[in-house]
Structure 1
Amino acid sequence: MAGGPLEGVRVVDLTTVVVGPICTRTLADQGAEVTKVEAPGGDILRYLAAGSRSPAMSGKFMNFNRNKRAITLDIKKPAGLAALKRLIAAADVFVSNVRPAGLARAELDPASLAQLNPRLIHCGIVAFGEGGRYAGRPAYDPVIQSLSGVAGTFERATGEPRFVPMVMTDHITGLVAAQAIGFALYRREKTGQGEAIEVPMFETAASFVMSEHLGAATFDPPEGPTGDARLLSPDYRPLPTRDSYITVQPNSNPQAFAFFDAIGRPELKDDPRFNTPIARTENAAEYFRVRVDGLARKTTEEWLEIFAAADVPAARYNSLDDLLDDPHLQDVGFWQFDEHPTEGRIRRTRTPVTFAGGMRAETLPAPRPGTQTDAILAEAGYSAAEIAALREAGAAQ
């Protein structure tokens, strides 16, 4: 038994790249039985990262597709599509990031699948909501970062629009989709009815950005410009010390006043620009400049000791490589090591969320293309002869 809060939930996963797989991995990590359905050739993410030990098994693919089983079906062929629908008929959840028009052509849209399985939770992850003029357009994470204001926050802060150097809007949308599926499963427990969920990347990312930066434009008419001046300061970043970098975030008065004492500027506690939270917000640029000037005087380790004694929130700056050896992550067992059946010893992140009532008992390695095709088809009721016929027709691999 898998264990975990979603034990027994069956998910058919018709997603690729990151936004969908991060959603279904989240479900799988919590015990759901996820069947990853791939076209011949497999998910493009299998090939989109360097450093693979063998073809079709990039590190990025492996990170986003653990705890899943894989079946390869050519759903452009009638027999392959029929096999997919048989899997969906027995599933609790169907997740796709196929554009709605493509789902409709294959009769995989919510209305069609509700006829097949009235209890099905149908989750469609799309670039843009169906009610708007952008509906149906293709998009990847950089397109959404550009359109949703993520890149615009960098322009406000530094004078140049930039992307966050990770597929952030994919991650956000995928996690929101997993959350929405959990909500829908809960309602189905009470009503017995299935659900159709639309999770649009653009609207999700715009909500994420503007919940933070709507600011004075919350009011109608606006009381001032959009944007949180603190977060848009060019000095809202890890700041240089005498030997490296540190991040310090004194928000409350006790924290800010302890910080002023620590940097040898106790007079700032009486400065009307800095002696209240609202004053520090309204004078964010000056407040950050005080931090920049003060922190350059000591080493990072000296500051960490001082701020720990004063209960001021602070942390060293970690590079990506530093995270591999971070002592706290080691303490909590964040890094896990497995022996993959074809890829050898691999490192992975553990699920950060824990449940006292139990977690998934085992970790399934990210599958090679079509690893469980025969087993999954057999579980769906196909005979050995029927499976052989599907393979001979090219409908399954």
Structure 2
Amino acid sequence: MAKAVISGPLAGVRVIDLSTVVMGPYAAQILGDLGADVIKIESPGDTVRLGEYRTTPGMSPLHLNVNRNKRSVALNLKDDGERAKALELIDTADVLITNMRPGALGRLGMNYEDLAERNPGLVYAHAAGFRGDSDRADMAAYDESVQAASGLVDVANRALGTPVYLPTIIADKVCSLTIAYSVLAALVHRDRTGQGQQIEIPMTDTMIAFNLVEHLAGHVFEPATGPTGFVLSMSEGHKARQTKNGLAAVLPYSTQNYRDFFAAAGRPDLAADPRVSGPVLNPADVGALSALVDECAPALTTAEWAEVCAKHSIPMGPVLELDHAHEDSYVRDGHLLDTIEHPTEGTVRTVGIPVRFSATPGSIRRLAPVPGQDTDEVLTELQSL
């Protein structure tokens, strides 16, 4: 592959990715998409490389989706000489992202105090399951356990009647975004003052804060004026609707939305219902009205509802079937999924960069590497510094 031309708002920033699985690597990939030079220090055993692969062991779909725009350097941190090389690389970095446990980092001489002495301007982002000063600090954390510890499982149990986990690794990905914006804030501070700092990103704390935005509800007040749980999103009817030919998220929110919806469905009797005649919807009526929306939605096709909802400003979206995402015009036109030639894996689909910068756009310059692919290149550069 030709040498990548670095562009984007983070061009000139160097990030060392000393993390595994999804949370840290995805955060580092986001920074790489925005132009940072990301060097991934890899030791054997990252579980994200396990599982399904097409031609090359370790090149799993999940690895391909969280490790692009990085150079991979294979270093055994338990070896004194190779650990010294890793420390030299960190000396050149603006940012370090790690999710290693504090005890392991201490044994390697890679806790914040050790590294800040060598590199005072370093932004040191440490992600963990729980706060380091808590009695859970040494507990292993996985997305599901964090969903439980942060209240998501309780919300699901109350809304659905079963304590399910959300079918996405939401804790990992929300925390990835939190790492990314926290690093950017710390870089602004460093550029103003020259001072680096340590950032602790506990997954559980991040997800508790995330969940309570709406679900704290009546417990915002002391004494509480009602239960926790956001009524709208926990109602039985909070789901996509069956239209004449498929599914759609048709979401009347205002009384006018409901009147227009029922009229379009050929139900003038419901459009005149007293529950939707006033200026403001009574939250107590949401469940019953939602059931009526379910009843009326099959009157029109998804495309017809799209026209109606656009005309009357009713929130609506078609349901994207992931098996056909690459065929969807919105996905295709926004380059949210593109096919590209990978050096070892052949033709692959890669997820696009969702944000757009008018002056400094991000770019996909490197596809996810095989383990240690760039070790010689990076260490040769290091010798020349």
* TM-score, with structure 2 as normaliser: 0.94
Q: For residues 153 and 297 of structure 1, do their structure 2 counterparts lie closer, same or farther at Cα, with a shift above 3 Å needed?
A: same
Deviation per CA, 1:335-385: give whole Å up to 9, x if none.
Answer: 2222111111111011011111122455201110101111111212289xx
- Structure 2 counterparts to residues 210-225 of structure 1, below 5 A: 210-225=212-227
Between stretches 267-276 and 125-134, larger displacement belongs to 267-276
Ranges in structure 2 where 5+ consecutive residues have no aligned partner: none
Deviation per CA, 1:307-356: give whole Å up to 9, x if none.
Answer: 23333221222221131211111122222222111111111011011111
Alignment of 1:37 with 2:41, yes or no, is yes
Distance in structure 2 (CA, Å) of the matches to 1:147 and 1:3: 40
Q: Which residue in 1 is equivalent to 2:341? A: 339
Alignment of 1:303 with 2:275, yes or no, is no
Distance in structure 1 (CA, Å) of the matches to 2:310 and 2:335: 24
- Of all paired residues, the percent bearing the same amino acid is 35
Aligned 8 A contact 2:337 2:351 in 1: yes
Alignment of 1:81 with 2:93, yes or no, is no
Deviation per CA, 1:56-90: give whole Å up to 9, x if none.
Answer: 10111011100000001111111121111111111
Distance in structure 2 (CA, Å) of the matches to 1:176 and 1:153: 22
Distance in structure 1 (CA, Å) of the matches to 2:182 and 2:228: 29
Alignment of 1:285 with 2:302, yes or no, is no
Q: Which residue in 1 is equivalent to 2:8? A: 4
Alignment of 1:242 with 2:244, yes or no, is yes
Q: Which residue in 1 is equivalent to 2:155? A: 153
- Cα offset for 1:51? 4.3
Aligned 8 A contact 1:268 1:275 in 2: no
Determine helix, strand or coil for the equivalent of 2:234: coil
Determine helix, strand or coil for the equivalent of 2:380: helix
- Cα offset for 1:109? 1.1
Q: For residues 177 and 133 of structure 1, do their structure 2 counterparts lie closer, same or farther at Cα, with a shift above 3 Å needed?
A: same
- Cα offset for 1:240? 1.3
Aligned 8 A contact 1:274 1:283 in 2: no
Aligned 8 A contact 1:242 1:299 in 2: yes
Distance in structure 1 (CA, Å) of the matches to 2:49 and 2:348: 16
Distance in structure 1 (CA, Å) of the matches to 2:25 and 2:146: 18
* TM-score, with structure 1 as normaliser: 0.91
Between stretches 192-201 and 331-340, larger displacement belongs to 331-340
Q: For residues 362 and 134 of structure 1, do their structure 2 counterparts lie closer, same or farther at Cα, with a shift above 3 Å needed?
A: closer
Say how many residue pairs are matched. 381
Deviation per CA, 1:113-136: give whole Å up to 9, x if none.
Answer: 110100000000110011222112
Alignment of 1:137 with 2:139, yes or no, is yes
2:20 aligned residue (6, 12, 16): 16
Distance in structure 1 (CA, Å) of the matches to 2:151 and 2:305: 35
Deviation per CA, 1:91-147: give whole Å up to 9, x if none.
Answer: 000000111222122221111111010000000011001122211211111111122
**Residue type of the alignment partner of 1:370:** G
Distance in structure 2 (CA, Å) of the matches to 1:369 and 1:148: 34
Alignment of 1:46 with 2:49, yes or no, is yes
**Residue type of the alignment partner of 1:246:** A
**Residue type of the alignment partner of 2:108:** A
Q: Which residue in 2 is equivalent to 1:26? A: 30
**Residue type of the alignment partner of 1:32:** A
**Residue type of the alignment partner of 1:292:** D
Q: Which residue in 2 is equivalent to 1:315? A: 317
Structure 1 stretches of at least 4 aligned residues deviating more than 6 Å after TM superposition: none
Q: For residues 196 and 278 of structure 1, do their structure 2 counterparts lie closer, same or farther at Cα, with a shift above 3 Å needed?
A: farther
**Residue type of the alignment partner of 2:178:** V
Between stretches 176-185 and 103-112, larger displacement belongs to 103-112
- Cα offset for 1:286? 1.3
Distance in structure 1 (CA, Å) of the matches to 2:241 and 2:159: 15
- Cα offset for 1:3? 0.8
Aligned 8 A contact 1:280 1:287 in 2: no
Alignment of 1:164 with 2:156, yes or no, is no
Aligned 8 A contact 2:99 2:126 in 1: yes
- Structure 2 counterparts to residues 180-199 of structure 1, below 5 A: 180-199=182-201
RMSD: 1.9
Distance in structure 2 (CA, Å) of the matches to 1:279 and 1:290: 15
Distance in structure 2 (CA, Å) of the matches to 1:372 and 1:45: 19
